[in-house]
Amino acid sequence: MRFAAYERRHRHGVAVVEDDGTLYPLPGVTSLTDLLARADGLPGLLAAGRTALDVPPGPHVSRVRLLPPLRPASVRDFVTFEEHVEGVRRSVDGVAGVPEQWYEAPTFYFTNPHAIYGHQEDIPVPPGSAVLDFELEVGAVIGREGRDLTAEQARDHIVGYTVFNDWSARDLQGAEMKVGLGPCKGKDTATTLGPYLVTADELEPYRDTDGFLRLALTAEVNGEKVGEDLLSNMSWTFEEMTAYAARGTRVVPGDVLASGTCGNGGCLAELWGLRGRQDPPPLKPGDTVALIVEGIGTLTNTVVPGAAPVSLPTGRRRGRERP
């Protein structure tokens, strides 16, 4: 099944989306995140979806404003594509190759769950940035709470998938990562999810013999293709990523675990690193980015001007006075 969150006539709803775009609203449900918590996994979510198909259909998807399919409890963004690491490392740090430590575990960082945008929403340029980039990813959505899971157990905790765009201010990111704590404001302004949550069973036909989902990925800027890859080029499966995320802690319904950016033009910075110049150029207001994932859908957003940065002083160089 495909689930959409939407707004119509100032009211929010959640619906099952048929192939022709017809929405079948779930009675009394206004939040997919809340529904995931009650459903406790894929069987419960599918059962809830079937109740919607028993009532008269609602509007066509073209007659509503799509919202992010869910409001995540947390967002972990992994980095699982070697080709992306190679290209962006060369672009940001001027260093070739992949660090050996990268192969030891599926590294991730936490990004901002309060800056989630949906399909066709405008994306503001981060304050103070002149080098905006997109990142083509797929997000796995957790549907059952779990802790210290094996990869085999983790499969029952993934309820579905959505397209994920990790908008990145490369100039801010490059400066702040010199501190050694990872990205902060370079990734803080926007993450786009959508257009739908596609349940995990829908994508099982794409699973290869090694457990990876073989989905075609395409990135376009202003209608021109700039990148394409296969999701199966990940170095870890989503189940392995979920097991790592749950190590020593919990994953809960509504958590999103992103694949990290694919290679071969999954973002502009990778291409800049390979070509030695900013070609294509950084995104600017008026540019439209479309991310297309086989079996899930197309996620489209247009960049608009953002707010000016609020002025702050640089850090004070303090003395070493003691009490």
pLDDT in tens, the chain (323 residues): 999 999 999 999 999 999 999 999 999 999 999 999 999 999 999 999 999 999 899 999 999 999 999 999 999 999 999 999 988 877 767 777 899 999 999 999 999 999 999 999 999 999 999 999 999 999 999 999 999 999 999 999 999 999 999 999 999 998 998 898 888 999 999 999 999 999 999 999 999 999 999 999 999 999 999 999 999 999 999 999 999 999 999 999 999 999 999 999 999 999 998 888 999 999 999 999 999 999 999 999 999 999 999 999 999 998 888 89
- Domain 75-304 sits in CATH at 3.90.850.10
Asked if 43 and 61 count as a contact pair (C-beta separation under 8 A), the reply is no
Dihedral (CA of 8, 11, 12, 18) sign: negative
Say what the pLDDT of residue 229 is: 98
> Residue 161's Cα: distance from chain center in Å?
10
Say what the pLDDT of residue 130 is: 97
3-state class of 163 per DSSP?
strand
C-alpha 226/C-alpha 74 separation (Å) is: 30
